[in-house]
Amino acid sequence: MSADEVLGSQPGMEYEGPDDVPILNVTGELAGEVIELRLPAMAEQIPLIRMLTHGVVARADFGLDAIADAKMAVDEACAQLVQLADLGARLHCRFQPIAGGLCVSVSTTTTEPDPPSERTFGWHVLATLARSVSSHHDALPGETAGVTTIELLLVPGTEAG
Amino acid sequence: MSDQRKPLLRRPDEYAHCDPLFEELGTLDPSDPRRDELRARLVTELLPLAVHIATRFAGRGEPREDLVQVARIGLINAVDRFDPTRGHDFLSFAVPTIMGEVRRHFRDTGWAVRVPRRLKELHLSLTQGTAELSQRLGRAPTPSELAQHLRLDVDEVREGLLAGNAYQALSVDKPVHDDAETLSLADTIGSEDNDLVMVENHEALQPLLAELPKRERAILVMRFFGGLTQTQIAERVGISQMHVSRLLSQTLELLRGKLTGER
């Protein structure tokens, strides 16, 4: 199985992501609203993801602070993965609206089996900007490379306070 | 001919009489009252240099007087930081320093790209509307709340917010230079230490933080180590939320580049 298959580029094979669900108990009903973007895992591409993030969270009517936080968080997650990504790998960004927020998952193929360290400044930034953040690495059967994913739960920041 | 080529250093000897003053300044004890006197004299002698550089940047949408002020600040910094024992002459040190200061001013307050008047006005009303609503709601407003408040179409607001990233702040955004920052920094510095030691690359990070301009550093610390929202930071520093957000993401990008050794 190739990385692209795991990342869900085949028609009819919806990439569910191994860990879509755990952050909040989301059922599949909202899956129709999933927005995805796939592009080369290169730093030059990140501004494009940033624009899409803006569009998605502004449409979800996040507060202005939360919009800016979301963009910075996605920026950071993408930058971390671009660092780890194998040469020629693609970055897969997936935005899934869930009750009370937005689940963003960014993944790419990496030979390095360890997910990003959770003790870096970059991770501290992610943890500050997102309601929750997690990462995982899934080996691809029969290949040396696997898929590393960072998942962010973003909230609109409009609750009282 | 060669005069035309390098107008800034047209007469390199123009400020040559300052060299002995710098040398003298270098020999004085830091507590010597003559230092201030000498420093003031040097700055005064060199003022035309600041005007000269400011003039080069005139006609780009920023008032000339502001540019001259900024260039003068750059000049004072250059005088303070110049070390004649390093073997450079003052001009080759000062010109890039002053130009850097003026460029920074453009980056902070000027428009990075030419933007139609309509968009500038939209940005202005979004900035003001955000400030008003934040005050009322106690948090940052959403695009639809802004649209309602400003009687604008929500799509227009969303796009206006996105465009807000392409250009820099307007003059209403102008920072309250330096004053506000020391205070806010002092407020949050304690929690910075605690959080920072948890970070494994904090040894690499600390000198980078120290290198940041004071305001950028204060904003970063307040957001990531002080737990303040951008709206709260905006209020403390006296700039708009959008400006805070721009400065934050610029600073993060800079740190990211340096931490990963890209530049």
Q: pLDDT for A80-138, tens place per residue? A: 999 999 999 999 999 999 988 999 999 999 998 888 988 888 999 999 999 999 999 99
Name the minimum distance, in Å, from the CA of A139 to any CA of chain B. 26
The residues that bridge with A103 in the sheet, in sequence order, are A96, A153
Q: Which residue has the higher pLDDT, A76 or B165?
A: A76
pTM score above 0.90: no
- Give whole-number Cα distances, B124 to B13, B66, B107, B127, B206, in Å: 47, 20, 17, 5, 36
CB contact under 8 A, A122 and B198: no
To test the contact with chain A by mutation, choose from B132, B137, B139 the residue with the greatest count of A C-beta atoms within 10 A, namely: B139
Å between A78 CA and nearest CA of chain B: 12
> How far is the alpha carbon of B120 from chain A, nearest alpha carbon, in Å?
18
The phi and psi torsions of B16 (rounded to 5 degrees) equal -60, -30
In tens, the pLDDT along A76-88 reads 999 999 999 999 9
Judge whether A104 and A61 are in contact, CB under 8 Å: no
Query: Per-residue pLDDT for A31 more than 90?
Result: no
C-beta atoms of A121 and B139 within 8 A:
no
- Chain A positions touching B229 (Cβ under 8 A) are 65, 157
Compute the distance between CA of residue B199 and CA of residue A122 in angstroms, rounded to an integer: 9
- pLDDT of B165 reads 62
- Amino acid present at B156: E
Q: Which of B148, B188, B194, B199 to mutate to test the interface with A (most CBs of A within 10 A)?
A: B199
pLDDT at B99: 87
* Closest chain A residue by Cα to residue B208: A121
**Cross-chain Cβ contact A67/B141 below 8 Å:** no
Which of B138, B142, B199 faces A120 most closely, judged by CB atoms? B199
**A84: closest chain B residue by CA:** B260
Q: Collect contacts of B142-149 with beta carbons under 8 A, ≥24 apart.
A: B142/A61, B142/A62, B142/A63, B142/A64, B142/A156, B142/A158, B143/A58, B143/A61, B143/A64, B143/A67, B144/A61, B146/A64
